[in-house]
A and B are shown apart, each in its own frame.
Chain A
Amino acid sequence: MLYPAEWQALWLTIKLALFSSLLLLLLTAPLAWWLSRGQSAGRNAINALLTLPLVLPPTVLGFYLVLLLSPDSWFSQLLRLMGIEALAFRFEGLVLASMLYSLPFVVQPLQQGFGQIAQDLLNQSKAFGANNWQLVTQLIWPLSRPALFSAFILSFAHTLGEFGIVLMIGGNIPGQTQLLSMLIYDQVESLNYARAHLLSGLLLLFSFSVLFWLYQQQRGQQQQGQQQRSQK
């Protein structure tokens, strides 16, 4: 049904969404934790910075990324010193871009979820003698799992639908940066409406089923929790 190039684009899209979402979760969780523990001017400034990708058009981010990733930039030279090729027009560059772009979609749910863990509970657990590792594994992780889950959903879905920034920095290179959204655009340009229809429908169906599945899982967790609580 699908041509190899189309499989490749589909696969690349999923891979990008998975990679960037998981990396983003890992990297921003400590930051979101710090942000959730109180109010200060410094926190507000960082919050504002993290929310920027939400309000800026993708072109602004794309423009800066093109400059940053191009082989002559200071960033690429720094990477070269560490033995890494310039990231422009490569999958790794796209991962970086979509991580930046999905930043608010991950940090905000995390921050909210972490914020719901009462400081009293943390203090009491510390007073019992729990060390930081025990706090994280036995208290923070189980209590913030739903938040991590919804942050992942949002980031994943957002990356699936990414186009503007990919158009600017991706270069539409098969196997590296040709995402499904780019391939569809390509097919429309080549007057291959049948393929464009097929791919668009596929993306629609796929996105819907992933989201549906993830929400089902989440609901399952909630129901379990409610059952435990409803016997009161």
Chain B
Amino acid sequence: MSLQLKLNWLASNFHLQLELELNNHWIGVYGQSGSGKTSLLKAIAGLLPAATAFCSLDGELWQHDCFQLALSKRKALYLAPDAVLMPHKTALQQLQLASHWSQSTVDLKQMIQDFELEPLLALYPSQLSSGQQQKLALAQALIAKPRLLLLDEALAHLDHQQKAAVLQKLKLYQQQQGFMLLWVSHQMEDLCLYCEEIIWLKHGQLQRQQQLSSPHSNQLFYAI
């Protein structure tokens, strides 16, 4: 998979300028608060059209100048730190709707089992803890079979144990479905454990882009 991206955005107190080409499946995004990580993910998802000069996935044009591919055709799912859920639907209904909307063939029961969602199914989002909400949002996203999954601290509210279990399942689904995953996290050790490549942002600019499988991977640790 190959994602090409060019961002140029001048906000009042923030200047984002990036040119990227990403080819790996697990990509970690690292950087201090305010370095432009969220903007990067939102731009890829198509939520910041003003900031995006160019975006394409596997040669399919997503955005260039005035042209913008509709959100429903991209299948790029952005998961925010606070899970976005429908307040009037139970967990089960949310999963069903996601499956219905994306015309997915993913096995719902399997998904519920994998993410241990059974006890939550009859509950509304406001009855769930923030960690449970994140788990639900992730399961919902995986049902929709994304081509690109953009996690913006989307697992940060899970405890250590749960996170490990969820990540393991996520890895499994990634291998099955073959999507590309961009993962913003402040936990460097998580990123290093799962990612093949890490990009490091600073003040809205690309500081470093590093393959982890390469022999030079150690350099990154020193740099940080």
Nearest-neighbour CB distance to chain A for B143, whole angstroms, equals: 9
User: Would A128 and B84 be within 8 Å (CB), given that A123-B71, A138-B97, A228-B124 are in contact?
Assistant: no
- A232 and B84 form a contact (CB under 8 A): no
Q: Which residues from chain B contact A124 at a C-beta distance below 8 Å?
A: 77-78, 84
Chain B contacts with A in 126-166, Cβ cutoff 8 A: 126-128, 140, 144
Q: Which stretch, A7-15, A66-74, A129-137, A168-176, touches the partner chain B?
A: A129-137
| Distance of A140 Cα from B127 Cα, bound (Å) | 21
Most A CB atoms within 10 A — which of B46, B72, B74, B103?
B72
| Distance of A195 Cα from B86 Cα, bound (Å) | 54
Nearest-neighbour CB distance to chain A for B211, whole angstroms, equals: 29
- B47 and A123 form a contact (CB under 8 A): yes
Nearest-neighbour CB distance to chain B for A232, whole angstroms, equals: 4
Q: Is B87 an interface residue (CB 8 A)?
A: yes
- A121 and B84 form a contact (CB under 8 A): yes
User: Would A127 and B71 be within 8 Å (CB), given that A121-B86, A142-B88 are in contact?
Assistant: yes
Nearest-neighbour CB distance to chain B for A107, whole angstroms, equals: 23
- A129 and B86 form a contact (CB under 8 A): no
| Distance of A127 Cα from B85 Cα, bound (Å) | 13
Q: Which residues from chain B contact A118 at a C-beta distance below 8 Å?
A: 84
User: Would A127 and B84 be within 8 Å (CB), given that A229-B124, A229-B127, A231-B127 are in contact?
Assistant: no
Most A CB atoms within 10 A — which of B74, B75, B87?
B87
- A127 and B87 form a contact (CB under 8 A): no
Which of B74, B86, B88, B123 is in CB contact (< 8 Å) with A127? B74
Closest to A142 in B: B88
- B80 and A120 form a contact (CB under 8 A): yes
In this complex, the interface size class of chain B, counting residues with CB under 8 Å from chain A, is 20 to 34
Could you give, for residues 43-82 of chain A, a 1 whenever the CB lies within 8 Å of some chain B CB and a 0 otherwise? 0000000000000000000000000000000000000000
Q: Which residues from chain B contact A126 at a C-beta distance below 8 Å?
A: 70-72
- A129 and B88 form a contact (CB under 8 A): no
- B88 and A125 form a contact (CB under 8 A): no
- A134 and B101 form a contact (CB under 8 A): yes
| Distance of A231 Cα from B98 Cα, bound (Å) | 25
Which of A123, A134, A139 is in CB contact (< 8 Å) with B86? A139
| Distance of A143 Cα from B45 Cα, bound (Å) | 25
User: Would A129 and B75 be within 8 Å (CB), given that A134-B101, A232-B127 are in contact?
Assistant: yes
- A128 and B77 form a contact (CB under 8 A): yes
Closest to B80 in A: A120
Closest to B102 in A: A129
Nearest-neighbour CB distance to chain A for B131, whole angstroms, equals: 14
| Distance of A229 Cα from B87 Cα, bound (Å) | 10
| Distance of A78 Cα from B4 Cα, bound (Å) | 57
Q: Is B76 an interface residue (CB 8 A)?
A: yes
Chain B contacts with A in 97-124, Cβ cutoff 8 A: 97-98, 100-103, 123-124
Q: Which residues from chain B contact A138 at a C-beta distance below 8 Å?
A: 97
Q: Which residues from chain A contact B128 at a C-beta distance below 8 Å?
A: 232
Nearest-neighbour CB distance to chain A for B36, whole angstroms, equals: 19
Nearest-neighbour CB distance to chain A for B100, whole angstroms, equals: 8
- A229 and B126 form a contact (CB under 8 A): yes
Given contacts A118-B84, A121-B86, A231-B127, 5 further A-B contacts (CB under 8 A): A123-B71, A126-B72, A128-B77, A128-B101, A142-B88
Between A and B, 10 residue pairs with Cβ closer than 8 Å are A120-B80, A124-B77, A127-B46, A127-B77, A128-B101, A128-B144, A130-B72, A131-B72, A228-B127, A229-B127
